[in-house]
A and B are shown apart, each in its own frame.
Chain A
């Protein structure tokens, strides 16, 4: 088995790599500034490391951090696939770095690239029109629900509820609430899918939309998707597709063909843009022709021999101050251009193959199937969070744990297409090793990571969120 020891820089018994403020803080007084004294602050105290110190600090921090290039990262629902390096070079092209307030005719390259990406995403999702403006998946959800709301209001139809399955991402619930809707939670059926009877009971003339992923969080395809669409549409509601799991379906099925009216794409999950330790992402939104007039302002279209921005007739307005997370969109465009039809279809096939292969090889029970891009195993009598900590010691990132709640002690696992058979075997060996550990050993894990088990309760009970707070505390 692969062994692993994460680098750990330790300064003394009290801390690891010191904070920048502990290394090189400096206070400067604001004197003789070009502004009158009453308009300026008195002083400023910040770290002032010389560049060699700065380089060493962040290099050490990077060594105390685990990324996709460090090893397998099978976080379910997060799709941590390899991020091709060449896309970084494209996003860094000087011609890509223009100011957002330039007149349309002076940025035809930027508009042209945007238009092509809109078009490609439309084809991939089976959608008629796509906006690139939402800066992340959750922002895409908010955009999509605001579009649904504007559509209903335009039809003189005030609706108050959004229906969401109990296994859905937390963002779905939060998005519906942000848009001012009441949430109706839909209990899953015994097979882990949408229960049509429960859906019929939940849907009414108050239903603005049903938000759904497909395959769902358990990796299961919602085989009754057409009936689901009918139930929602018959009640006058719209069907929203959460694109979190689109990496499972490229070239096999399209949300637009399944009856979805509006969807978001997670470009990190499906089109390999790096997640950057939490972001930036991008969450383009696709809609049917009927909803296109409600897209955010502005939208790109072709004009005489070029491209132009315009405001859709019933636009919901803005969801980002400018045009979204442009460099991230450029990387997604580069990835799609590289893979094309056949590469995208192959990526999905290998992602699904990898999930099935791994599910077959681990010692934990996988209660639902057949799996697509991910599966949810149960840690059974073990604590899923402890299982995760144990796996850290084996040089792999653990799965998402304790979610969805429809599987007890869930280990939600998504290896992605980026793992080789050998790497999957190593992952399976890590599961195997942890499966055989006793509770006490797992509770004491991890032991080979940069830091030992971190006290979450203490962090929340006495919040210390800045070095200033540490100083006043110690």
Chain B
């Protein structure tokens, strides 16, 4: 089979070969015999319909479960208009905006995305994306080493942290020789006294999350910011755009960098596919990793947009670049901006408030169930909470899967339940199923 996406007719191929003076296609390859591949991959070709069937057949083996899952990857309802507009080929099939005169549309959309993050965080500079929350945290750690006022080499992270995030951070910390250490939690929130005890001149960055991976709203962020400031360390805060619509502004609690997964708006559950937010203070502008869109003027004197401050980047600065990132998550950012605009500030705040009341109400209902105590942590929750089960958590989770529900197992007798408007209608069923299996 020839490639269906190469338009050449046989006659055209012949004419083109003649034009370049080649006998056949194979003679165009200047590959020495000794390394030439004369075998086969053994991958059969398919018609388009058959290729779709083949993929659907593979994926059909996924169990159909109603997911009450979160811990960093969330689903909110994404309006149809986001899919519709983001799928326009001028957006979807374009490249990085190296020729801004023909890429004003995407540049403006990214400029708007950056601006939304500036409003949500109260900080000055947002880049137009990192891969995900974990790699954004890794970049924040390396940023601390380029900031002159910071001298330490230790990165402090909360004890309640996703393993995946900790793992990625460890790889980013490896090159510059940073040490990653955990500080303890007290009832699901940062243990401020213990953190204060640990702080010294070797700390380069303190990381905290709100909500935490267990869904708890951190109540003493300003104290963490102050501790970091007192020791000339950066304060990096992890959150997401929905939570930021309601919770304290990072700028007001002394955050120097905000990271997080912004795909919680615009992209539903997609097996961990994310969008790394990276927002920081103006003073660190020239140390920011990744792409930045700025406003300028064109030859007609009208405002126009372009990628800017590219001397920070790998294609100019090579080994002295702020990061090796090239391809980012621009199209995911486009979707996030569309979704945020569709909601508007009212809709976004309503959604965030629902993320507070919904898990609270569900936890209350589960607390009534025999064999379950919920929530385990005092304090306010966002989207999710941890519950204690008298039965082993593993058995509870497995029995729930048999009933068609997925929740997290996070300890011997601890499960975690996340709920948003997307699972609203399934909550009754979940409560009933847990009542059956948790006795």
Let me know if A339 and B45 touch, CB within 8 A: yes
Indicate if the CB atoms of A108 and B61 lie closer than 8 Å: yes
Give the segment of A195-203, A230-238, A285-293, A347-355 that binds chain B: A347-355
The answer to whether B16 touches A465, judged by C-beta atoms less than 8 angstroms apart, is no
- Interface membership of chain B positions 19-47, coded 1 if the CB is closer than 8 angstroms to chain A and 0 otherwise: 11010011011111011110011111111
Point out the residues of chain A lying under 8 angstroms from B439, CB to CB: none
Question: Is A156 located at the chain interface by the 8 A CB criterion?
Answer: no
Contact present for B304 and A16 (CB under 8 Å): yes
Q: Which interface class (under 10, 10 to 19, 20 to 34, 35 or more) fits B?
A: 35 or more
B59 partner, pick from A40, A110, A342, A454, beta carbons under 8 A: A110
- A455 and B296: CB pair below 8 A? yes
B16: chain A residues within 8 A (beta carbon): 353-354, 357, 421
CA distance A115 to B72 in the complex (A): 25
Please pick, from A27, A65, A370, the residue contacting B345 in the complex, using a CB distance under 8 A: A27
In the complex formed, the residue of A with least CB distance to B45 is: A340
> For the complex, what is the distance from the CA of A469 to the CA of B296, rounded to whole Å?
12
Interface string of A49-75 (1 = CB under 8 A from B): 101001101111111111111100101
Report whether B331 and A40 are in contact in the complex, using a CB–CB cutoff of 8 Å: no
Instruction: Decide: A95 and B59 in contact? CB cutoff 8 A.
Output: yes
> How many A residues, CB 8 Å from partner?
197
From B82-90, B194-202, B364-372, the one touching the partner chain is B82-90
- A102 near B65: Cβ-Cβ < 8 Å: yes
B40 contact set on A, CB distance < 8 A: 341
B140 at the interface (CB under 8 A from A): no
Q: A58-B109, A113-B59, A123-B43 are in contact. Are A97 and B271 (CB under 8 A)?
A: yes
Q: In angstroms, how far is the closest chain A Cβ from the Cβ of B407?
A: 10
Cross-chain contact B132 with A275 (CB below 8 angstroms): no
22 contacts between A and B (CB under 8 A): A21-B115, A28-B349, A33-B356, A49-B342, A54-B85, A67-B93, A120-B41, A135-B132, A169-B314, A170-B315, A252-B31, A276-B94, A276-B332, A320-B164, A343-B2, A343-B45, A444-B299, A450-B105, A451-B298, A455-B297, A455-B298, A467-B111
What are the residues of chain B within 8 A of A146 when measuring CB–CB? Answer: 171, 174
A372/B44 in contact, CB under 8 A: no
B89 touches A319 (CB 8 A): no
Interface pair B325/A392, CB less than 8 Å apart? no
* B283-315 to A contact mask, C-beta < 8 Å, 1/0: 001000001111111111111111011110111
**Cβ of B126 and Cβ of A65 under 8 Å apart?**
no
Return chain A residues, CB-CB under 8 Å to B25. 349-350, 352-353
Residues of B near A276 (CB, < 8 A) are: 91-92, 94, 330-332, 334
Residues of A within 8 A of B270 (CB): 96-97, 326-327
Q: Is the CB of A460 within 8 A of B116?
A: no
Residues of B within 8 A of A68 (CB): 89, 93-94
Given contacts A170-B316, A275-B95, A278-B291, 19 further A-B contacts (CB under 8 A): A39-B219, A62-B85, A65-B90, A112-B61, A120-B43, A138-B325, A179-B174, A276-B334, A317-B167, A318-B168, A336-B43, A346-B3, A353-B16, A397-B102, A400-B98, A421-B16, A450-B101, A454-B298, A459-B294
Quick check: B302 and A98 within 8 Å, CB to CB? no
A-side contacts of B340, CB under 8 Å: 46
B407 and chain A: residue at smallest CB distance: A101
> Which of A64, A86, A322, A346: most chain B Cβ within 10 A?
A322
Set of chain B residues within 8 Å of A392, measured between Cβ atoms: 99, 101-102
Whether B103 contacts A65 by the Cβ 8 Å rule is: yes
In the bound complex, how far is the Cα of B30 from the Cα of A340, in angstroms? 23
B191 at interface by CB-CB < 8 Å = no
The answer for the CA separation of A180 and B60 in the assembled complex, in Å, is 44
**B223 interface hit (Cβ, 8 Å):** no
Q: Is the CB of A137 within 8 A of B326?
A: yes
Q: Which residues of A contact B148 (CB under 8 A)?
A: none
Q: In the complex, what residues of B have CB within 8 A of residue A178's CB?
A: 142, 172, 175, 323-324
Write the nearest CB–CB distance from B63 to chain A, whole angstroms.
Answer: 4
| Contact A338–B46 (Cβ < 8 Å) | yes
A24 to B110, CA, bound (A): 18
